[in-house]
Amino acid sequence: MNIPNFLTILRLFFPIFICFICYLKLIPSLEKVVILTLFILFSLTDFLDGFLARKLNQESVFGKTFDPISDKILTSTSLIYILTFENIILIPSLLIITREFIVSGTREYMLRKNSKGIEVIFISKIKTMLQFISISLFLAQDILIKYLNIFNIAYISLWIATILTIYTGLKYSYITYTLNQKRN
């Protein structure tokens, strides 16, 4: 166990934190603030675990395997939570969550078939960042509503992230298909 892997594992348990906070039955605005704070902290661990793994020379198979999965869990859990008060995001949320399962399956397939995973493409990092930004904005609405209306920014950001999500999902599928064609 090292620090980068611990940070990855922490993100894997994000749904448990959300369930606990919801169980406390806080007033909705306080609940959102607590979840927003946790979401931002957990999102920062996504950057930090990779940075530390490279800096401390602690890259591992566990980290490479579970880092993308932990991001998907963080994103999916947050979108499902936001759906409890913003049902307008149902379609982008379904598209994002479905793509995440497909890409995870594609990676697993490539590992089993070729003993080699698919490397993360750079645009996927941008997609993840946009997802994190839009989720943060949706969670921050109650806090910032006095100063500005961020709903439209959050909603547009989520749709841009959804388009990038679909694009990268298709790209991973294409990479998998072409690699399999070359091997056959």
Domains in the chain: ranges and CATH: 3-183 (1.20.120)
As a whole number of angstroms, the distance between CA 59 and CA 107 comes to 18
Q: What percent of the chain has pLDDT over 90?
A: 55
Q: What is the pLDDT of residues 42-52, one digit of tens each?
A: 999 988 988 89
Q: What is the pLDDT of residues 108-132, one digit of tens each?
A: 787 777 767 677 778 888 998 999 9
Tokens of 161: 């992230």
**pLDDT top residue among 158 and 117:** 158
* Helix segments in 61-150, DSSP class H: 61-83, 90-114, 122-144
**pLDDT top residue among 23 and 112:** 23
Torsion of CA 65, 120, 115, 56, to 10 degrees: -50
Residues contacting residue 113 through CB under 8 Å, at least 6 positions apart: 180
Residues contacting residue 180 through CB under 8 Å, at least 6 positions apart: 113
Mean pLDDT of 156-161: 95
